[in-house]
Homo-oligomer: A and B are copies of this chain.
Amino acid sequence: MKKNTFLYVFVFIALLFPSGLKAENDTLKYVDASTFELIGKGFSDTENLYERLPASLKDKTRPAVWSLSKNCSGLAIRFRTNSRIIAARWELTGDVTMNHFAPTGIKGVDLYCLEKGKWLFVNSGRPNGKVSRSVIVKNMEGKEKEYMLYLPLYDGVSRLEIGVEQAALIDNPRIDSPRKDKPVVVYGTSITQGGCASRAGMSYTSQLSRMLDRQFINLGFSGNGKLDLEVAEAMSGIDASCFVIDCVPNVSAGLMKEKYVRFYEVIREKNPETPVLMAENPRYTHMAFDQKTRAAVHEKNSLLKGFYQELKKKGDRHLYYLKAGGMTGDDLEGTVDGVHLTDLGFKRQAGHFYPALRKIIK
């Protein structure tokens, strides 16, 4: 039994991890990522650098929301380098584990490179505990290129360093992509936050940011997109190209009646002409079998449709609506647990949002 266990450990450690990385890692220089451009951040006045809500909300919002705002979903470091190797060293605040979510997605980092105006996946940095060190890519040409390193979706980062060859250049980007100007702000749930993408670049907001060449501010709070008005208040101060409200999965029909329109109004009052997109609850794949869930989702989406129609009737010419039909495909294969999307589901969801948002933000 002992022998078997040892073999398992040996097989998995020796064969799934690329070899030879340790030696390379030791010869690199590591630069604090805080010296580079941080994108996807909605508020400059956060308690710590890699966080998503202003410090002023600390005692105003619910502890669960505050805690989740310290997860880094949507944040990314922009830099350029001519190094043939790129590595990362990062310290997590939580070292969170979940049973339906790959650690790379929860707490890894994810590198993209800009090639001919298109962001391409390079590789992920795999987490190995509270402090991780990972060679992300090696054997590159050594040409100067623009990079984007996504931070963890479901954990916090207290420190991040980027490793490159000793003699390599590493500096702030030359190119403004995804463009800073007037970001899209997305408020929502665990799905919005990126549960359960295999790596941070595959959440739907990350994908859309690359597809639309526009920064996205991810305000997804797992299980807690419950229409907290102080969050709407904070959001309303962002000079956005569009506000997306995508929180229906986290609210009951009762809570929707109580707060949904008010949440919208808080944003609208300060932003009379900014597009607002109301998104329906995605059709959970297990709704094909779970009748109670199916009924609940249909009820909430009808309610949402009603709010939308009423607000349009009152004259809001900048309000938009996104239907759930087709959002995650029609083969029921896009989720890991009926609700949370895999990379397959997120690819489809990004494709569903894309034409709507492209039209809205032009």
Interface residues of A (CB under 8 A from B): 4-5, 7-8, 10-12, 14-16, 63-64, 67-68, 93-94, 96, 98-104, 108, 113, 115, 120-124, 126-128, 137-141, 154, 190, 195-196, 198-199, 202, 222-224, 285-286, 288-293, 331-338, 340, 342-345, 347
Give the CA-CA distance A124 to B222 in the complex, in Å.
Answer: 20
Give the CA-CA distance A286 to B120 in the complex, in Å.
Answer: 10
Which residue of B is nearest A195, CB measured? B16
Give the CA-CA distance A121 to B113 in the complex, in Å.
Answer: 35
Asked if residues B16 and A98 are in contact (CB atoms below 8 Å), the reply is: yes
Chain B residues whose CB sits within 8 angstroms of the CB of A123 once the complex forms: 285-286, 289, 337-338
Chain B residues whose CB sits within 8 angstroms of the CB of A11 once the complex forms: 64, 67-68, 222-224
How far does the Cβ of A168 sit from chain B's closest Cβ, in whole Å? 15
Which residue of B is nearest A189, CB measured? B15
Copies of the chain in the assembly: 2
Give the CA-CA distance A10 to B224 in the complex, in Å.
Answer: 12
How far does the Cβ of A111 sit from chain B's closest Cβ, in whole Å? 9
Known A11-B67, A16-B222, A124-B336; contact A139-B292, beta-carbon cutoff 8 A: yes
Asked if residues B336 and A199 are in contact (CB atoms below 8 Å), the reply is: yes
Give the CA-CA distance A128 to B195 in the complex, in Å.
Answer: 18
Give the contacting residue for A7; candidates B67, B128, B291, B343; CB below 8 A.
Answer: B67
Offer 10 A-B interface pairs, CB within 8 angstroms, sorted by A. Answer: A16-B340, A120-B332, A137-B290, A138-B290, A139-B292, A139-B293, A140-B291, A198-B198, A333-B343, A344-B344
How far does the Cβ of A156 sit from chain B's closest Cβ, in whole Å? 9
Asked if residues B292 and A121 are in contact (CB atoms below 8 Å), the reply is: no
Give the contacting residue for A286; candidates B7, B96, B137; CB below 8 A.
Answer: B137
Which residue of B is nearest A334, CB measured? B343
Give the CA-CA distance A94 to B2 in the complex, in Å.
Answer: 11
Which residue of B is nearest A132, CB measured? B99
Chain B residues whose CB sits within 8 angstroms of the CB of A139 once the complex forms: 289-293
How far does the Cβ of A317 sit from chain B's closest Cβ, in whole Å? 36
